[in-house]
Amino acid sequence: MSKKMIGHNQPPLTIKDFLILDVDGESTGRIKFTNTIINKHLTRKTKIVKSKNGENESVYVERIINDSEKIGLKAKINKGGSKSFYYKYNPKGKTANGKKRNPIPYHLGSFPEMKVDAARSLVEDLKQAIKLGRDPDRERRINRKKWNDSLSGKCPFSDPACW
């Protein structure tokens, strides 16, 4: 007779426990993001490697997880432990020399200031802008330049002529 572990006897959950499985029981590599999963279970990962002088050394391993609800939405824990959301857009087509275009990452915001629902909403807005032929990254750079110009006194932020 096997005992089922319940309550506090269960081992702690890890991010792998939340992976969604396909019909064959294989991992899809996606997780249904929730604020709790990002907060409690997205943790820094390190591995032990031999340093040049032969001693064991702990090295940061980048950890990125994919959302199951919005394709392209990713959460990442950085080396210092901060967590952030970003959207990775894979442009269609090829460059002039025939090579595949590089994916374009769009940083959406940091967790916990930005919640999962807000990140999903931003991804939807980005996808719509890209479908309409706009370049959100270019627009962000233009808006940042306008903001910096307004701070430096070159152009008052409230002046519509600067826009």
H or E, element range at 125 = helix 116-131
Place of tokens 């430096």: 152
Whether residue 31 contacts residue 67, with contact meaning beta carbons closer than 8 Å, is answered with yes
Work out the pLDDT band at 153, boundaries 50, 70, 90: low
Question: Does the model's pTM come out above 0.85?
Answer: no
Phi, psi of 38 (to 5 degrees): -65, -45
For 96, the token pair is 């002039």
Work out the pLDDT band at 23, boundaries 50, 70, 90: confident
Q: What angle do CA 31, 21, 115 make, to 5 degrees?
A: 10
137 against 33, higher pLDDT: 33
